Chains A and B, each alone.
Chain A
Amino acid sequence: MAIMAIPAFLQGSTDLNVSGPNIIASFEIFGITIRFTETIVLEWIVMAVILGLCVFLTRNLKVNGVSKRQVIAEMAVEAITNLVRDTMGKSWLGFTPYIATIFCFSIFGSLLSLTGLRAVTSDFSVLATWAAITFILITATKIRFGGVGGYLKGFLDPIPVMLPINILSEVATPVAMALRHFGNIAGGSIIMGLVYFGLTGLSHLVKLQIPILTIGIPAVLSLYFDLFSDFMQAFIFIMLTMVFISNAAPPEDETQTA
């Protein structure tokens, strides 16, 4: 049917496959298979971008007569510091670099989908890792303020019958966080894939050899599914992390009087 050959990159999205990250290599250590996936390489790209940006922005810092770069760096640091102070309280400011790390990693990892690569955050293992870190921090905070006994006794509150529900809610916290983030980003990428695939099919249906319909229309949807959703999910993830960790400790005025 096609008289002239159309280059592959102009043919649009001709197939739709929903799959996880590709496995680049796998090796065995102590009988356990360790897979080295696409996601890790993408993480390295994201890390290189973030750290490069950090080094670039903080080059040649001055006390007076600051450059635009330095203003951006200072604003970023002050914004995240203020967010942590307002959400968690003054005594939790040590968490600021970690919160900033997750925030940057999540945003840049999600925005990676704009370049056509897989988003780092559409791999559930990544979100599971971050949620696990949050869970560990929550548990560590509870043990730090209540002791191991206090932590275990907390599962029997307010009545011992609540034990299964308490355990469930404890586990549900990180699982919900990870699934929410993963679902939004991965779901968004699936929807965008569907949109491209559908518009390509529609273009062919109206006898357009080159899928012109895929120009412009997906960008509108991409504003929500990529930009807005990415920022939103990163923000929600760090907010939940901060709130859960600071809630794991008794209120500030109680710790002062105790």
Chain B
Amino acid sequence: MGFLSIDLGTILFTLINTLILFFGIKHFLFQPVNKILEERRQAVDKTMQDAEDARTRAEQAEAEYAEKLADAKEESAEILRNATRKAQRRSDEIVTQAKEEAAGILQQNRDELEREMRRAESQLRSEVAELAVLAAEKVVEREINPEDHARLIDEFIDSVGDVQ
């Protein structure tokens, strides 16, 4: 065949061969490699997305914890305030009670003292009367009637009271 010749058979077969090679290269090289490249790209995207998600979650958790911490602080302050108030009330109650008790005891003592005084007074009165009667009997050596008796005692007591 001539050096520079165009041959229909060669063109036909070359066309077929080129098409076969085209589909071969497409199927055996480009499709698998592009598939892998795409998969890798997706994997990288997924990793980035995951990292972003994790960061968002961490930020959310942080905010949540900060909120909880603030709540806890407030709660503890509230508890402390309540306890202080309760203790204050309780101490006030105790003091009031003690005061009342003390006042009661004082009153009781006072009453008792008065009663004692009164009893002592009446006892004194009767003893003085008896003494006076005895003294008078001895002086007059005679029985005086009860009316005079009583009058004399009263006069005596009154005079003693005046002296006091």
CB pair A61 B29 closer than 8 Å: no
CB pair A125 B14 closer than 8 Å: yes
Find the A residue at minimum CB distance from B34. Answer: A77
CB pair B37 A123 closer than 8 Å: no
CB pair B33 A61 closer than 8 Å: yes
Task: Judge if A62 is at the interface, Cβ distance under 8 Å.
Answer: yes
Determine the distance from Cα of A63 to Cα of B17 in the docked complex, in whole angstroms. 32
CB pair B18 A97 closer than 8 Å: no
CB pair A22 B13 closer than 8 Å: no
Task: Judge if B139 is at the interface, Cβ distance under 8 Å.
Answer: no
Determine the distance from Cα of A18 to Cα of B1 in the docked complex, in whole angstroms. 10
Given A22-B1, A133-B18, also A55-B11 (CB < 8 A): no
Task: Judge if A36 is at the interface, Cβ distance under 8 Å.
Answer: yes
Pick from A70, A96, A101, A123: contact of B10, CB under 8 Å: A123
Q: For residue A124, which residues in chain B have a CB less than 8 angstroms away from its CB?
A: 4-6
> B29 → chain A, closest Cβ, in Å?
4
Task: Judge if B12 is at the interface, Cβ distance under 8 Å.
Answer: yes
Find the A residue at minimum CB distance from B2. Answer: A20
Residues B3-47 near A (CB distance < 8 A): 3-15, 17-18, 20-22, 24-26, 28-30, 32-37, 39-40, 43
Pick from B5, B21, B39: contact of A50, CB under 8 Å: B21
Chain B interface: which of A37-45, A150-158, A238-246? A37-45
Find the A residue at minimum CB distance from B30. Answer: A97
Given A97-B22, A104-B25, also A63-B39 (CB < 8 A): yes
Pick from A63, A73, A101, A129: contact of B11, CB under 8 Å: A129
> A127 → chain B, closest Cβ, in Å?
9
> B37 → chain A, closest Cβ, in Å?
7
Determine the distance from Cα of A100 to Cα of B17 in the docked complex, in whole angstroms. 14
Contact with B along A19-63 (1 / 0, CB 8 A): 111110010000011111101100110010011001101100111
Given A125-B6, A128-B6, A186-B3, also A77-B21 (CB < 8 A): no
Residue among B3, B14, B43 with the highest chain A CB neighbour number at 10 A: B14
Determine the distance from Cα of A51 to Cα of B7 in the docked complex, in whole angstroms. 26
Chain A, interface size: which category? 35 or more
Q: For residue B17, which residues in chain A have a CB less than 8 angstroms away from its CB?
A: 40, 43-44, 47
CB pair B29 A36 closer than 8 Å: no
Determine the distance from Cα of A103 to Cα of B55 in the docked complex, in whole angstroms. 48
Task: Count chain B residues whose beta carbon lies closer than 8 angstroms to a beta carbon of A.
Answer: 35
Q: For residue A132, which residues in chain B have a CB less than 8 angstroms away from its CB?
A: 11
Task: Judge if A105 is at the interface, Cβ distance under 8 Å.
Answer: yes
Determine the distance from Cα of A186 to Cα of B1 in the docked complex, in whole angstroms. 14
Q: For residue B12, which residues in chain A have a CB less than 8 angstroms away from its CB?
A: 34
Pick from A35, A62, A97, A182: contact of B25, CB under 8 Å: A97
Q: For residue A19, which residues in chain B have a CB less than 8 angstroms away from its CB?
A: 1-3
Contact with B along A98-139 (1 / 0, CB 8 A): 101110110000000000000000011110111011000000
Find the B residue at minimum CB distance from A27. Answer: B9
Q: For residue A34, which residues in chain B have a CB less than 8 angstroms away from its CB?
A: 8-9, 12
Determine the distance from Cα of A51 to Cα of B25 in the docked complex, in whole angstroms. 7
Q: For residue A63, which residues in chain B have a CB less than 8 angstroms away from its CB?
A: 36, 39-40, 43
Q: Could you pull out 8 A-B pairs where Cβ atoms are within 8 angstroms?
A: A35-B9, A39-B10, A39-B14, A40-B13, A44-B17, A47-B24, A57-B29, A74-B33
The chain A residues found within 8 Å of chain B, CB to CB, are 18-23, 26, 32-37, 39-40, 43-44, 47, 50-51, 54-55, 57-58, 61-64, 70, 73-74, 76-78, 96-98, 100-102, 104-105, 123-126, 128-130, 132-133, 182, 186
5 A-B pairs closest in CB distance: A20-B1, A125-B10, A54-B28, A97-B26, A35-B9
